[in-house]
Amino acid sequence: MTPTSTRAATRALHLAAIGGLLLALSACAPDPNGPAVSGPALGDPGPAGPAAGDACERAFPGSPFGTDLADAPTVPADWTHPDGVELCGVYQSSDANAVLQYVTELEPDAVLDAWEPLLGGYALERSSGMGSWPILNAVAGDLEFAIQTDGDTGAIIIGFAEGAA
């Protein structure tokens, strides 16, 4: 493996780990007696945006994230997704990192096959990701992201990192 591909693989693992952590965290309901933290309060409808469908609720139960891409400035302004996937959540985790949550009934390889034509300006590399499900890593300029699939749940997590390339 070349130093560049090793560095890209390490970044992809970090992005996938972020996505996995957010997937796990979205399944946990906040404790109403817990410490005060920044973020949506219990009963708070969350950010504006269309209501998540039933598939989103099953994949990301109780997720406090809205679906407005404007809430994640790290995500490119022209970001689009293929037919057959539903946007469930948008989360800007820091100034340079964002996460998108999607669901689909498509098979994991079909999801990535559908996304690849939409990513013409990016250098793409497909490999085996978390749980041996396929992952698509993309880099352009100082932005990179990874599209991690999960064939068991139909969940798709995309982790964006700006300034990492």
Considering only residues 122 and 3, tell me which one the structure prediction assigns the higher pLDDT: 122
In sequence order, the 6+-apart residues with CB closer than 8 A to the CB of 156 are 85, 101, 102, 103, 104, 111, 147, 148, 149, 150
Query: For the whole prediction, is pTM greater than 0.95?
Result: no
If you average pLDDT over residues 109-125, what whole number do you get?
Answer: 96
Specify the pLDDT at position 164: 63
pLDDT band at 165 (very low <50, low <70, confident <90, very high): low
The pLDDT tens digits for 31-50 are 333 333 333 333 444 444 44
In sequence order, the 6+-apart residues with CB closer than 8 A to the CB of 162 are 74, 96, 97, 142, 143
Specify the pLDDT at position 60: 92
Q: What is the mean pLDDT of the chain?
A: 77
Coil vs helix vs strand at 23: helix
d(CA 122, CA 119): 6
Report which residue type is found at 100.
L
If you average pLDDT over residues 64-86, what whole number do you get?
Answer: 94
